[in-house]
Chains A and B, each alone.
Chain A
Amino acid sequence: MLDVLYQLFAAVCGQNPGHTWAPGGIWLPCCQRCTGLYVGAGVAALLHVWLRPRLTNRFLEIHGAFLMAMAPFGFHWVAQGPALRTASGALFGFAVVTFLWLPLSSHFTFHVSRPGVWAYFLILGGTLILLPLAASMGGTFAAYALSALVAWGAAALFALVAADVILGLRGVLCWLRRLPPSRAPA
């Protein structure tokens, strides 16, 4: 099963062996930053469905900052180790899922409360701490669990992208229908 994941993630990740977690001696299917990205995305997707935090301007600004934080880390302007690489990936994953979730969020009825937002950020913080710990100190079980989470995160991202594309196409179709019919050539 892991071999299949290696093959799949080879298309989207460099799988640099020097930057890949190997809990229990088992290589994860993608590099440390991508592990953070996909696990973060998977957790964020679950939180958006479960807690339904209100997507206020402040909430979006914070996630915009998470998104932009990838630039100094991704371009290696900042010295970083495995834990920081993973954490920066996780923050990026949370931000990407939040932004991809936005167009879909208007299709759901929100019954949100402030504790929902607090719980969201609490779990986000927990993910940032626990993920590198599990990857560096965990054994075989951690390797399989993290691989499963990575696969789930990738699937969630794919589903969100697909849903957004469908919504976008539908919007374009509606817009085209509103246009006045073009005149037939004389």
Chain B
Amino acid sequence: MPPSTAGKDARRYVVMAIKGAPATIERANPLALPAGTAILRVLAGSAAQIARKIGARASEYKERQIMNNTKRNATLALVGLLALSVYILACTSFSPDDTKVLYPAFDVASGATGIAGYDREARTSELLFVPVGYDSAETNAEVTPAVLRAGWLANGRDIVIAYASPKDDEKAGMTVAVMPWGARKPVRTFHVPALKDAGEALISPLCIAGDQLFLHASGKSIARLDLRSGALATKEFEDAKGDLSFYPAPDGASVFYFEADSPSGGQTTIGRLNPKGFSRTPLMVVSNSLKEATAAAYDTDGKVLALLAAGDDKPSLQVWRDGKVVFSREVDTHGKKTVFGNAILAPSGKAIRASFQQASGTNAVSYGLMEIPFSEAPTREVMLIKDAPPQDEASVSYFQAGVSHDGKTAALASTYLALMEKPISAPDCALFFVDLSDPNWKVTKVPIPMPAKLVPVLK
């Protein structure tokens, strides 16, 4: 009996079937073969079919898994990309000077006025700069009073502090210091001589455009100080019809000028000054002259101008757009005499916010912040200092508001009101924060320590 080859045949057929030779098996006629071999062939064919199905399922599963992995990877990559985008957008929304606030404060040791920085996150204050001068060369001479104004350079890292004597002394000029915030860098000081009414000029915000500071030198001339190199250039606008005044543009890159059409006033041209070449580009003409007691606010493009004038009866608001009055209203102050310090356009462009002084009875004044909508909607106000000693109306110029870039917080310091002939009380000497996003305008008060001896200097 020949040795059985059934086992070998079966293995061969299974191997052939798996390797892909189904045609041979299908063509084979089981009846023409010995019974054992035929059964083996049929079994091998079935096994091959099962193996093919398993293989197909496996490759299908693998393909599906690859597809699922690809989908998962793509989804997760998209999540990563979105998270990165959200992060970048969130980071740029924090503007450089919104967390730190510069304000005038006292050096308790010397009694001199300086500039302090308040960290809104850490809720701490730090005195940054104190200039101390003396009235004469005598020993034990009194500390010279100084008016200081501080601002940020465009890089948000360097502080510019300008200070001058409040006395009308043309020779004294103004000193400008540039100091870094929190870094080891030299502090530079520049002295700019021959500036008319230097102390009075510091009532307005510093006119910083890029790395340059613009100072009103006299009626029709301007001085430009390069805060890096110290280069000083002056320019007299001989073609100007009347006196010029200069204001910083909200973008921090250019300068706005207000030009009266004659020395006596009449029309006022508002335009943009090229910081490099001093060329003037008129933006709009306001047909009425600006009174002294007018607070002006403007937008970045210089197309919208809001003028808030303190009238004898009721203050009035005029909104100009492209040289035309587009809105005007009276401001209801409940019959109380009200004057305004400075005004700032709300980010929405639909309201103006201004610091004010209001008569409180016959022998007191109050100070606060007001929002006046560009509609007939009622005004909104918060009193920050109540029943202070009566002051001249001009004192409100020393109580000005600053608003954060997101427009959500206003800051006001009453430091200079403590230097008036009739100073405010020590509890009222503070840095006030008004949360404008809060429905109730929540006020946070940061006390400003007062020195034992104060020299009244401002009139």
Contact = CB atoms under 8 A, between A and B. Distances in A.
13 contacts: A14-B94, A14-B95, A15-B96, A15-B157, A18-B121, A19-B99, A25-B183, A27-B157, A60-B76, A67-B80, A103-B70, A157-B84, A164-B77
A18 B99 contact: yes
B182 interface: yes
Interface in A44-101: 60, 67, 70, 74, 92, 95-100
Q: Sort chain B's interface into a size bin.
A: 20 to 34
Contacts of B70: 103, 106, 171
B74 A14 contact: no
Contacts of B99: 16, 18-19
Q: Which residue, of B73, B83, B93, has the highest number of chain A Cβ atoms within 10 A? A: B73
A124 B79 CA distance: 21
Contact of A67 (B73, B79, B182): B79
Contacts of A135: none
A112 interface: no
A4 interface: no
A125 interface: no
A13 B87 CA distance: 9
B119 interface: yes
Interface in A154-186: 157, 161, 164, 168, 171
B69 interface: yes
Q: Which residue, of B66, B87, B88, B157, has the highest number of chain A Cβ atoms within 10 A? A: B87
B81 A100 contact: yes
B83 A70 contact: yes
A11 B89 CA distance: 10
A182 to B, nearest CB: 25
B100 interface: yes
A15 to B, nearest CB: 6
B35 interface: no
Given A67-B80, A99-B79, A99-B80, A14 B182 contact: no
A17 B90 contact: no
Contacts of B72: 102
Interface of A: 6, 11-20, 22, 24-27, 31, 33-34, 37, 60, 67, 70, 74, 92, 95-100, 102-103, 105-106, 157, 161, 164, 168, 171
A96 B78 CA distance: 10
Q: Which residue, of A14, A27, A34, A70, has the highest number of chain B Cβ atoms within 10 A? A: A14
Given A100-B81, A103-B73, A37 B87 contact: yes
B57 to A, nearest CB: 22
Given A13-B92, A106-B69, A96 B80 contact: yes
B228 interface: no
Interface of B: 66, 69-70, 72-74, 76-77, 79-81, 83-84, 87-88, 90-96, 99-100, 119, 121, 155-157, 181-185
Contacts of A20: 157
A102 B76 contact: yes
Nearest to B185: A25
B80 A100 contact: yes
Contact of B91 (A33, A67, A97): A33
Contacts of A102: 72-73, 76-77
A17 B154 CA distance: 12
A13 B95 CA distance: 10
Contact of B87 (A16, A27, A70): A70
B119 A106 contact: no
Contacts of A157: 84
B100 A103 contact: no
A16 B96 contact: yes
A13 B83 contact: no
B87 A15 contact: no
Contacts of A168: 74
A105 B80 contact: no
A99 B93 contact: no
A4 to B, nearest CB: 14
Given A15-B96, A17-B181, A103 B87 contact: no
